[in-house]
Amino acid sequence: MKKIVAAIALSLLVFAQAAKAQSILRDAETELLLEDMTKPIIIAAGLSPKDVKIILINDPAINAFVAGGQYVFLNSGTIQAADSANEVQGVIAHELGHITGGHVPLGDRGFQPALGIQILSLVLGIAAAAAGSGEAAAGIIAAGQQAALGSYLAFSRTQESSADAAGAKYLNSAGINGKGYLSFFGKLSRLEARYGITRKDSFLLTHPLSGDRIANLTDTLQASPAWRKGPEVMLEERFLRARAKLTGYLDDPKQTLARYPAVDQSIYARYARAYAYHRAGYPEKANEEADALVKAVPDNPYFLEIKGQILLESGQPVAALVPLRDATRLSNANPLISTTFGHALIATENKANFPEAEKVLRLAVARDDDNPFAWFQLGVVYELRGDQPRAMLATAERASLTGDPRTAAYSAQGAMAGLPQNSVDWIRAQDIAITSQNMMDDAKKGRR
């Protein structure tokens, strides 16, 4: 019994470590694209676009999932595998079906029966072992575990089928062509074939076979007037750019340059190569590609952003100020782009730039406070300007976001000591101190 409990604990630990190993990807262009392409689907699902968050995860696997609240996590591998924005819209429509179906909070309904079967098999196995039949005990326990797994997988497949149908409904209601929904399932079907997954294996899967999913959804999607719509040209163009950028940023530079060779002079290829050359340590080549992008579309804030980022990270912060200032202006002070601009202002080591850096970074965290790097940079500029209490408050904000309650509590208490009592910043520091201390107290109770 102890070995089984230990095995379950080890499985949970491995899962937790794997989840922790995944990192969130933040990119202004990609986040805005995801917002624009999912807004009509979210509304069709009866949800508010302000409440639903699409979060991009650095993971090459083709996958998406939902977690507590209204969070949709989308693996980078899903975007890289997709041929169109329409395919990604289908994936997200399916995940919204999980949210509206309450599948995350209802997950226990599938787990509890499976757990009950497993516990019963353990009890019967122990009884058999006590009666002197070791082989019978092992057989009962193994059979119970298989039955428990089968119970849970069947429940999971039912939820997936429900989310499939909801996703199709939301696409039709939003007036979005469902062809991408089906074509992405086609990709999954080909993967199943590649790995030798056949109908006889279907009871071992958490999802229905992709071929069955296509068959179940086709009539519904084809019956909608949206089926006859063509692709949204501008949306698809933006998707191809974001996908190329993601490839250049995440993939091995050699692979990126093979996929987008120098003979390819398209915007997408230049975008991917700019990041690939930058990551590979060829700043001159990266700068050439960025210059070509800016020349092609001078008022594109994201092309200016990569231009400035290349200059900044190659040790030229002063030269980076012009493109980053323009990128910030043209993006309506997007918080992520503003943070890079603020970083460049600080990196010049010119005291005359520090007031502007503080202004830019304060606005960035006001519009997006879930950005540890922005808080770090704001703390740096406060430190440079001699404002120690607010530097400590910024450190507390960053620590609370990165899961470091000890540092958060210590820094928040230090900030309170130097801030005017009952001021807005003092109250915020007090909130962080209390919350962080409660987290540490709860952790201590859990270890007892």
- Asked if the model's pLDDT at residue 45 lies above 60, the reply is yes
Residue 9 in any domain: the answer is yes
pLDDT digits (tens, 9 = 90+) for 415-443: 999 999 999 999 999 999 999 999 998 88
Residue 264 in any domain: the answer is no
Q: Which residues pair with 75 in a beta bridge?
A: 57
Amino acid at 244: A
Residue 164 in any domain: the answer is yes
Residue 268 in any domain: the answer is no
Q: What is the mean pLDDT of residues 117-144?
A: 42
- Asked if the model's pLDDT at residue 152 lies above 80, the reply is no
- Asked if the model's pLDDT at residue 141 lies above 50, the reply is no
Q: Which residues pair with 74 in a beta bridge?
A: 56, 64
Count other Cβ atoms within 10 Å, centred on residue 363. Answer: 16
Q: Which residues pair with 226 in a beta bridge?
A: none
pLDDT digits (tens, 9 = 90+) for 60-108: 999 999 987 899 999 999 999 999 999 999 999 999 999 998 877 444 4
The C-alpha atoms of residue 120 and residue 117 are separated, in whole angstroms, by: 5
Who contacts 297 (Cβ-Cβ below 8 Å, separation ≥6)?
Answer: 267, 303
Q: Which residues pair with 53 in a beta bridge?
A: 71
Torsion sign over Cα 387, 388, 389, 390: positive
pLDDT digits (tens, 9 = 90+) for 379-398: 999 999 999 999 999 999 99
pLDDT in the model for residue 10:
32
pLDDT in the model for residue 306:
97
Of 360, 372, 298, 303, nearest in space to 335 by CA:
360
- Asked if the model's pLDDT at residue 328 lies above 70, the reply is yes
Report the DSSP pairing between strands 64-67 and 71-75: antiparallel
Amino acid at 259: R
The C-alpha atoms of residue 336 and residue 31 are separated, in whole angstroms, by: 10
Residue 72 in any domain: the answer is yes
pLDDT in the model for residue 68:
75
**Domains of the chain: total:** 1
pLDDT in the model for residue 323:
98
Q: What is the mean pLDDT of residues 269-291?
A: 96
Confidence of residue 194 (pLDDT cuts 50, 70, 90): confident
Q: What is the mean pLDDT of residues 250-272?
A: 95
Of 35, 54, 29, nearest in space to 306 by CA:
29
pLDDT in the model for residue 48:
96
The C-alpha atoms of residue 414 and residue 110 are separated, in whole angstroms, by: 47
- Asked if the model's pLDDT at residue 229 lies above 80, the reply is yes
- Asked if the model's pLDDT at residue 114 lies above 50, the reply is no
The C-alpha atoms of residue 327 and residue 274 are separated, in whole angstroms, by: 17
* Average pLDDT of the chain to the nearest whole number: 84
Residue 113 in any domain: the answer is no
- Residue numbers of the domain that contains 40: 2-108+155-228
Q: Reduce the secondary structure of the chain to three states and give it as a string.
A: CHHHHHHHHHHHHHHHHHHHHCCEECCHHHHHHHHHHHHHHHHHCCCCCCCCEEEEECCCCCCEEEECCCEEEEEHHHHHHCCCHHHHHHHHHHHHHHHHCCCCCCHHHHHHHHHHHHHHHHHHHHHHHHCCCHHHHHHHHHHHHHHHHHHHHHHHHHHHHHHHHHHHHHHHHCCCCCHHHHHHHHHHHHHHHHCCCCHHHHHHCCCCCHHHHHHHHHHHHHCCHHHHCCCCHHHHHHHHHHHHHHHHHHCCHHHHHHHCCCCCCCHHHHHHHHHHHHHHCCHHHHHHHHHHHHHHCCCCHHHHHHHHHHHHHCCCHHHHHHHHHHHHHHCCCCHHHHHHHHHHHHHCCCHHHHHHHHHHHHHHHHHCCCCHHHHHHHHHHHHHCCCHHHHHHHHHHHHHHCCCHHHHHHHHHHHHHHCCCCCHHHHHHHHHHHHHHHHHHHHHHHHC
Q: When comparing pLDDT for 97 and 11, which is higher? A: 97
Residue 75 in any domain: the answer is yes
- Asked if the model's pLDDT at residue 412 lies above 80, the reply is yes
Worst-scoring range by mean pLDDT, 21-25, 219-223, 330-334? 21-25
Q: When comparing pLDDT for 399 and 370, which is higher? A: 399
Q: Which residues pair with 54 in a beta bridge?
A: 72
pLDDT in the model for residue 159:
79
pLDDT digits (tens, 9 = 90+) for 174-188: 999 999 999 998 998
Give percent of the chain above pLDDT 70: 80
- Asked if the model's pLDDT at residue 2 lies above 50, the reply is no
Residue 351: half-sphere exposure toward Cβ, Cα within 13 Å:
4
Confidence of residue 8 (pLDDT cuts 50, 70, 90): very low
- Residue 23, φ and ψ in degrees, nearest 5: -120, 150
pLDDT in the model for residue 149:
44
Worst-scoring range by mean pLDDT, 21-30, 160-169, 206-215, 275-284? 206-215
Count other Cβ atoms within 10 Å, centred on residue 90. Answer: 29
Of 217, 231, 159, nearest in space to 186 by CA:
217
The C-alpha atoms of residue 184 and residue 63 are separated, in whole angstroms, by: 11
Of 25, 39, 28, 58, nearest in space to 367 by CA:
28
- Asked if the model's pLDDT at residue 155 lies above 60, the reply is no
Worst-scoring range by mean pLDDT, 158-162, 255-259, 350-354, 360-364? 158-162
pLDDT in the model for residue 446:
72
Give percent of the chain above pLDDT 90: 71
Q: What is the mean pLDDT of residues 325-332?
A: 98
Who contacts 175 (Cβ-Cβ below 8 Å, separation ≥6)?
Answer: 40, 225, 226, 229
- Residue 261, φ and ψ in degrees, nearest 5: -65, 165
- Asked if the model's pLDDT at residue 16 lies above 90, the reply is no
Confidence of residue 189 (pLDDT cuts 50, 70, 90): confident
Q: What is the mean pLDDT of residues 104-131?
A: 42
pLDDT in the model for residue 193:
79
Of 223, 243, 244, 240, nearest in space to 231 by CA:
240
Q: What is the mean pLDDT of residues 251-267?
A: 95
pLDDT in the model for residue 197:
72
